[in-house]
Amino acid sequence: MALNRSLIWGALALTTMLSRCGGEDIVADHIGAYGGCFSQSYGPSGQYTFEFDGDETFHVDLEKRETVWRLPGLSEFGSFDPQGGLSEAATARHNLDILIKCSNSTAVINEVPEVTVFPKAPVELGQPNTLICAVDNIFPPVINISWLSNGHSVTQGVSETSFLPKRDHSFLKISYLTFLPSADDVYDCKVEHWGLDQPLLRHWEPEIPAPMSELTETVVCALGLAVGLVGIVTGTVFIIQGLHPGGASRHQGPLCVANLKSRRVDMLGDLHYSLAKSIICLLSSNAPPVISSLGLKVLCPRRVHKPLEFSPSLLTL
């Protein structure tokens, strides 16, 4: 009977330590996990947390016996009596002792944690930023996370979350480091866990684009200048064509056009004065010249072997 009672208590303890209230199996837009609690026999005695959508809202510090809010402003929207967390942690600890006796102190399987380091925002040299070291797949929840800068330990500007329970009953823990990016500084997130044979260092350094060489700068400038000149020439051609829309349709043959100086003449008078102002063209054939009736143009088809003399009668209206 005592053994059966111990098994029942063991089942209850397993449920208490590895499950959370909040309906994880229900599909919803938002999930609140209230009273996530675990206890262990090594390292930190345990933890009691409240979460919303996977982010910690607050936890109860079991040693200081006080509620610690993840963000200071959250305490304005509610309060939590730490005594409730302390009571839950004590119950989990009692159940753990029973499970240890029933399992004959069988050691847990140590999982290998997964470590990722990345900046909170795009890195700009000289601009304050935050490095994030996310350690996933933690089990059991006993781990040390620290930061190194150029190989030296860093303690200022460091903060971290509590252990965040996951659906597979492993844990996630995140460490933060505020820093001022510099081209000369490199950083490492150091993780120590039972699942690792030796401490794991995850390296990070700012990615600074290499400056262009003088040859590259010269080529880029030359290409830019060439493109600019081509654009200027092309634009000039289009402007000229726009100012002379009929220029492309003019006759480009061997005809010569002689423009006469315009002069107002009396339409009833003769046009002998225009003959004096005409230009005699040498034609290359016997074709007669074509003369405008207004006396403004003389069209000469070709050159002739002999000069062609015009008669005043050709200019009569």
pLDDT (mean) for 99-107: 75
Q: Identify the CA nearest to 185 among candidates 129, 135, 145.
A: 129
Q: What is the CATH number of the domain that holds 143?
A: 2.60.40.10
Statement: residue 128 has pLDDT above 90: yes
Domain assignment of residue 183, yes or no? yes
Domain assignment of residue 223, yes or no? no
Q: Are residues 27 and 95 in the same domain?
A: yes
User: pTM for this structure?
Assistant: 0.53
| Residues 175 and 159: beta-carbon distance below 8 Å | yes
Question: Cis (ω within 30 of 0) for the bond into 140?
Answer: yes
Residue where one domain finishes, among candidates 179, 204, 229? 204
Q: Identify the CA nearest to 166 among candidates 56, 30, 308, 80.
A: 56
Q: Are residues 98 and 7 in the same domain?
A: yes
- Could you give the C-alpha distances from 317 to 4, 261, 267, 273, in angstroms and in order? 137, 19, 8, 13
Q: Are residues 87 and 148 in the same domain?
A: no
Which of 130-134, 217-221, 230-234, 259-263 has the highest mean predicted lDDT (pLDDT)? 130-134
Residue where one domain finishes, among candidates 76, 102, 128? 102
- Tokens for 178? 């505020």
Residue where one domain finishes, among candidates 187, 204, 221? 204
Q: Are residues 92 and 152 in the same domain?
A: no
User: Where does the pLDDT of residue 61 fall: very low under 50, low under 70, confident under 90, or very high at 90 and above?
Assistant: confident
Q: What is the DSSP string of 202-228?
A: EEE----PPPPPHHHHHHHHHHHHHHH
> For the chain, how many structural domains are there in total?
3
- Which residues make Cβ contacts (< 8 Å) with residue 180, sequence separation at least 6? 126, 127, 128, 129
Amino acid at 223: L
Q: Are residues 264 and 289 in the same domain?
A: yes
Give me the pLDDT at residue 87, please.
79
Domain assignment of residue 226, yes or no? no
Q: Are residues 194 and 156 in the same domain?
A: yes
Domain assignment of residue 180, yes or no? yes
Domain assignment of residue 165, yes or no? yes
| Residues 58 and 69: beta-carbon distance below 8 Å | yes
Q: State how far the Cα of 54 lies from the Cα of 32, in Å rounded to an integer.
A: 8
Q: State how far the Cα of 87 lies from the Cα of 192, in Å rounded to an integer.
A: 30
pLDDT tens, residue by residue, 142-189: 899 999 999 999 999 999 988 888 888 899 999 999 999 998 899 999
User: Where does the pLDDT of residue 35 fall: very low under 50, low under 70, confident under 90, or very high at 90 and above?
Assistant: low
Domain housing 172: 114-204
Q: Are residues 55 and 145 in the same domain?
A: no
Q: Are residues 96 and 136 in the same domain?
A: no
- Which one is predicted more confidently, 88 or 260? 88
Statement: residue 19 has pLDDT above 60: no
Q: What is the CATH number of the domain that holds 86?
A: 3.10.320.10
Q: Are residues 98 and 132 in the same domain?
A: no
Domain assignment of residue 239, yes or no? no
Q: Are residues 175 and 87 in the same domain?
A: no
Statement: residue 45 has pLDDT above 60: yes
pLDDT (mean) for 11-33: 48
Domain assignment of residue 218, yes or no? no
Paired sense of beta strands 290-291 and 171-179, if any: unpaired
User: Where does the pLDDT of residue 117 fall: very low under 50, low under 70, confident under 90, or very high at 90 and above?
Assistant: very high
Assign 238 to helix, strand or coil: helix
Amino acid at 239: I
Domain assignment of residue 301, yes or no? yes
Q: Are residues 15 and 93 in the same domain?
A: yes
Q: Are residues 142 and 86 in the same domain?
A: no
